[in-house]
């Protein structure tokens, strides 16, 4: 499963991309607002940091305006993926983008029928929001499983990008359910490296090694 970072903080992205484990980045208007810088400038810098797909979201709500904004975003770098909302207008724009060869990430997906429509429109990625569904009283990860089954039934190329990931358990569940990618906050990504037994074991190994008085170099 590919791991994307959900952030527009370029300093954080540089640090975590250095691990070699970051496959892409997703952004949204809220994250861009927090960055406090011009959107196109931020997206261009992120595209220089990460070779993989970088989702940049349109602000328009009408399809023709989405197309104009999306084409401008796609011109920033070859790895830009235009992010559009899962609305009727958004899917009209998605279909047009697909015909133009522009990759799309259809966001704010909360049901399997929505995901089916996005795939039929030619979306490159579908972003089901599992955490927000959990907040609503549903089991968000069930949606990932439903979409996986539907896409496999009909050989859709659209990749499932699990979004609104809150913790490591969500990452594990998304991988088990067959998500192609998961986009996660930087703090959740950093937590994936950690386990108290790993720390305890390493401390013991280092202590025992120090007692030998040896050096590998």
Q: How far is the C-alpha of 66 from the C-alpha of 42, rounded, in Å? A: 19
Nearest to residue 102, comparing CAs of 78, 121, 86, 128? 78
Whether 130 contacts 143, CB under 8 Å:
yes
The per-residue pLDDT for 194 is 96
pLDDT tens for the 217 residues of the chain, in order: 999 999 999 999 999 999 999 999 999 999 999 999 999 999 999 999 999 999 999 999 999 999 999 999 999 999 999 999 999 999 999 999 999 999 999 999 999 999 999 999 999 999 999 999 999 999 999 999 999 999 999 999 999 999 999 999 999 999 999 999 999 999 999 999 999 999 999 999 999 999 999 999 9
Start-to-end Cα distance in the chain: 37
The per-residue pLDDT for 93 is 98
From the list 14, 83, 120, 194, the catalytic residue is 83
Q: How far is the C-alpha of 129 from the C-alpha of 102, rounded, in Å? A: 23
Annotation marks residue 34 as catalytic:
no
The per-residue pLDDT for 196 is 96
Residue 125 CA: distances (Å) to CA of 39, 113, 120, 136, 176: 21, 15, 12, 23, 18
User: What number of residues does the chain have?
Assistant: 217
This prediction's pTM? 0.96
Instruction: Please tell me what DSSP assigns to residue 76.
Output: T
Bridge partner residues of 57 (DSSP): 83
Q: Which domains does the chain have, with CATH numbers?
A: 2-212 (3.20.20.70)
Q: How far is the C-alpha of 182 from the C-alpha of 172, rounded, in Å? A: 10
């Amino acid at each position: 499963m590919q791991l994307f970072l959900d952030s527009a903080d370029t300093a954080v992205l540089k640090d975590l991309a250095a691990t070699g484990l970051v496959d892409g980045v997703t952004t949204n208007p809220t994250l861009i607002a927090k960055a406090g810088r011009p959107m196109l400038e931020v997206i261009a810098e992120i595209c220089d940091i990460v070779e993989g797909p970088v989702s940049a979201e349109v602000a328009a709500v009408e399809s023709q305006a989405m197309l104009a904004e999306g084409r401008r975003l796609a011109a920033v770098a070859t790895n830009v993926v235009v992010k559009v909302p899962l609305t009727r207008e958004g899917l009209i724009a998605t279909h047009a983008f697909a015909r133009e060869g522009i990759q799309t990430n259809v966001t704010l997906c909360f049901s399997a029928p929505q995901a089916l429509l996005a795939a039929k429109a030619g979306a490159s990625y579908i972003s089901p929001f599992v955490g927000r569904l959990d907040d609503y009283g549903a089991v968000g990860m069930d949606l990932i499983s439903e979409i996986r089954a539907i896409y496999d039934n009909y050989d859709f190329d659209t990749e499932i990008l699990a979004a609104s990931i809150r913790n490591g358990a969500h990452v594990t569940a998304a991988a088990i359910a067959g998500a192609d990618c998961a986009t996660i906050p930087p703090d959740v990504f950093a937590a994936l490296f950690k386990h108290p037994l790993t720390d305890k074991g390493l401390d013991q190994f280092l202590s025992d090694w120090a007692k030998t008085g040896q050096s590998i170099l």
